[in-house]
């Protein structure tokens, strides 16, 4: 392994361990020294890789999105969701997004904490390609599904689907983060939470569905 390969391997390990530490203990409660110890490097090395704790937080956010996007794409492929009509793809993909609450509530809490930490440190504007991906790029699962629906006639053409795309993502994420925080404090009803998520996914799908579908 070359020195550059070793450096990149160490950086990746630091980011992976930082995500574990930040998710488990909170960003503010985690020191760079603790991350370094978990990654098997010294604190000085971490600062050679990343200029600040804020930059390390950004890199952990990128890793989180990378893993989340990969999971969604794998589920879509395994279930052959791409073979469905556009509007049916929309419902299935909304359900996959909602599964994040069922499967990884700590991730949702971390994502919210990371955003606030980066805002506080003046670094939030540096975060690029953060979800949701631009609708017009048609590379995000939900935007692809909507475009398919417009092409096959199962999605309405008399509304601004781009605004609906952004609103659906933001509302679902906000709902899941609030639920995750409540669950962490023992103030949630998981059965009721699942019903709310399913209802919201149905509501978005009904709104987008064309009369012909």
Average pLDDT over residues 127-134: 66
Which pLDDT value is given to residue 65?
Answer: 87
152 pLDDT higher than 90: yes
127 pLDDT higher than 80: no
128 pLDDT higher than 60: no
Full 3-state SS string of the chain:
CCHHHHHHHHHHHHHHHHHHHHHHHCCCCCCHHHHHHHHCCCHHHHHHHCCCHHHHHHHHHHHHHHHHHHHHHHHHHHCCHHHCCHHHHHHHHHHHHHHHHHHCHHHHHHHHHHHHHHHHCCCHHHCCCCCCCCHHHCCCHHHHHHHHHHHHCCECCCCCHHHHHHHHHHHHHHHHHHHHHHHHCCCCCHHHHHHHHHHHHHHHHHHHECCCC
pLDDT interval class at 172 (50, 70, 90)? very high
33 pLDDT higher than 60: yes
7 pLDDT higher than 80: yes
Average pLDDT over residues 137-146: 91
106 pLDDT higher than 80: yes
Domain 1-50 sits in CATH at: 1.10.10.60
Which pLDDT value is given to residue 5?
Answer: 82
């Amino acid at each position: 392994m070359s020195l550059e390969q070793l450096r990149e391997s160490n950086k990746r390990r630091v980011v992976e361990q930082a995500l574990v530490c930040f998710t488990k203990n909170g960003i503010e409660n985690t020191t760079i020294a603790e991350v370094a110890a978990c990654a098997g490097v010294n604190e000085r090395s971490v600062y050679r890789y990343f200029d600040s704790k804020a930059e390390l937080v950004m890199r952990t956010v990128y890793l989180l999105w990378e893993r989340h996007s990969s999971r969604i794409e794998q589920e879509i492929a395994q279930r052959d969701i791409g073979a469905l009509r556009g509007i049916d793809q929309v419902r299935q993909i909304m359900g996959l997004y909602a599964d994040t609450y069922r499967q990884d509530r700590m991730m949702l809490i971390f994502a919210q904490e990371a955003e606030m930490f980066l805002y506080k440190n003046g670094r939030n504007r540096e975060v690029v390609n953060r979800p949701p991906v631009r609708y017009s790029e048609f590379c995000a699962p939900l935007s692809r599904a909507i475009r398919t629906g417009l092409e096959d006639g199962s999605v309405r053409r008399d509304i601004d689907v781009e605004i609906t795309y952004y609103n659906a993502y933001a509302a679902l994420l906000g709902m899941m983060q609030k639920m995750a925080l409540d669950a962490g404090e023992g103030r949630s009803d998981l059965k009721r939470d699942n019903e709310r998520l399913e209802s919201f996914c149905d509501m978005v799908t009904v709104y987008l569905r064309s009369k012909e579908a």
